[in-house]
Structure 1
Amino acid sequence: MASPLIIAVPKGRILAEALPLLARAGVHPEAAFSDEDSRALRFATHAPGIELIRVRAFDVATFVAHGAAQLGIVGSDVLAEFAYSELYAPVDLAIGHCRLSVAEPAEMAARDDPRGWSHVRVATKYPHVTAEHFARRGVQAECVKLNGAMELAPTLGLAPRIVDLVSSGRTLAENGLVEVERIMDVTSRLVVNRAAMKTRPEVVPLVEAFRRAVADASKPLPFRGGVGVGDAGAGLGETPPTPNPSLRGRGEATS
């Protein structure tokens, strides 16, 4: 019996946005997936032979690149930072819209001109993307690697600027920071392990199911006898679980 296909999905805001796409592709997680008291990380689905694992957003790419999962949902920011050659990103899922930007204290921005920068010190969890961006501009970048609480860096003297994901900009504003330069726009992508794409024949139909799910995202999700109709798992005879409202908390992007 073939081992199950494993799809790695990120925790947080992006997962809440991804659940409708998973449903349209016929992948409905088991009830335990929506149990906020559960500490499980691996879940069955209503689609035979497909399982989900729920991991940190930055770890999705690693799980898929190393073959621990065959598919995953990950931001284009993470793909750019790690640049795994083992990953193929065939579908832009058109969710998780945000941007990777440079921000600094408002009082600094009032007298600053990014066009005049020759050297910058920034706090970020994207040191490779940041360094490459500034190198293209001819600016020397000193990156201080942080995994969170980036907004504290300027106020505590760790670095005068930060590079982080920005959505609405509210978190920046609440910490006295303003966005001064955009590095890249970000959306979530479906990624596939390249070896699995060649050796697991069931991967291609699932990728196409996600592609159709994105194309149909503006249409109401049809129901047949209480069961969501998806491309890969319709008619499984079980009612898909209701997405957990607790998944709609803050995700990876600065709000």
Structure 2
Amino acid sequence: MLKIALTKGRVERKFIPLLEKCGINCQPLVNKQRRLIVKLADKYEFIFIKGPDAVTYLNKGVVDLGIVGSDVLMENQSESYELLDLKTGKCQFILASTANYDWNNPKRKVIGTKYPTVAQKYFLSKGEDVEIIKIEGSVELTPLVGLVDAIVDITETGTTLRENHLIVHDYLDKVSIRLVANPVSLKQKKKEVFAFSDMLAKVVNQ
């Protein structure tokens, strides 16, 4: 049986329809209520966890596969092997600020983000030294109240940015949901892992 870490929330909602298209009865997943572990088709054991924890479970070999956003993989520098881009849950990293912010101001920029690793990598590639503040809540709020000069965040439609009068200054990496494997399982359960990956690939590439 394959143990699969499934990120709760948005990723979960985007992934289940793909699994249904594969002909698998997903009612146990849809109706899981507060259960954190759900078995399907006597083949799969889905473990519901938060994104960063999915990376930890994979790196420690607790699960064979993970269904997780590439934003989480990039931020947590996952050691997992990417098998498939599921081409759903698409969004993009952006750099944004208020319309009146002067990007040419020589003062050291202060950046708010939930993704300090991604933000640091971006500014290093630009040769800029910035101060990064980790934000757990509404990142869009931080430039509005003067806590930071700009933000690095992900956006799907841009609605929240527009409603808060924030302007995109640059586009960073695109984000989508990925199927990843822990390297040990890729060797020990190669047949099962690739059967699952190939099944999803058929519906993703339709």
Question: Aligned runs of 1:25-174 on 2, under 5 Å?
Answer: 25-31=22-28, 33-35=29-31, 38-45=33-40, 47-85=41-79, 87-108=80-101, 112-113=102-103, 119-174=108-163
- In the TM superposition, what is the alpha-carbon distance from 1:5 to its structure 2 partner? 1.4
- Give a deviation string over 1:61-101, Cα, whole Å, max 9, x none: 2222222221111122222112222x000111111111001
Displacement, 1:57? 2.6
**Does 2:188 correspond to 1:213?**
no
Change (3 A) 1:156 1:69: same
Q: Which residue of structure 2 lines up, in the alignment, with residue 193 of structure 1? A: 182
CA contact (8 A) 1:64 1:192 kept: yes
Show structure 1 runs of 4+ deviating over 6 A. Answer: none
Residue identity in the other structure for 2:130: A
Offset of 1:117 from its aligned partner? Answer: 6.5
Where 1:157 maps in the other structure, the secondary structure is coil
TM-score using structure 2 length: 0.89
Give the conservation status (yes or no) of the 8 Å contact 1:118–1:140: no
What TM-score comes out, normalization by structure 1 length? 0.73
Q: Which amino acid aligns with 1:22?
A: L
SS in 2 for 1:213: helix
Aligned residues of 2:52 and 2:76 also touching (Cα < 8 A): no
Matches of 1:51 and 1:129, distance apart in 2: 31
Please tell me the residue identity of whatever aligns with 2:100: E
SS in 2 for 1:107: coil
Secondary structure of the residue aligned to 1:84 is: coil
Task: Give the Å deviation of 1:30.
Answer: 4.4
Say whether 1:204 aligns with 2:198: no
Distance 2:184 2:156 in 1: 34
**1:117–1:64: structure 2 CA closer, same or farther, 3 Å change rule?**
farther
**1:131–1:143 CA contact under 8 A, matched in 2:** yes
1:221 maps to which residue? none
Q: 1:128 corresponds to which letter in structure 2?
A: T
- TM-aligned CA deviation for residue 27 of structure 1: 4.4
Distance 2:25 2:120 in 1: 40
Question: RMSD across aligned C-alpha pairs, in angstroms?
Answer: 2.0
Q: Which residue of 2 aligns with 1:18?
A: 15
Q: What is the CA distance between 1:133 and its match in structure 2?
A: 0.8
How far, CA to CA, are the matches of 1:118 and 1:158 in structure 2? 15
Q: Structure 1 pair 212/188, CA: closer, same or farther in 2 (3 Å)? A: same
Aligned length: 205
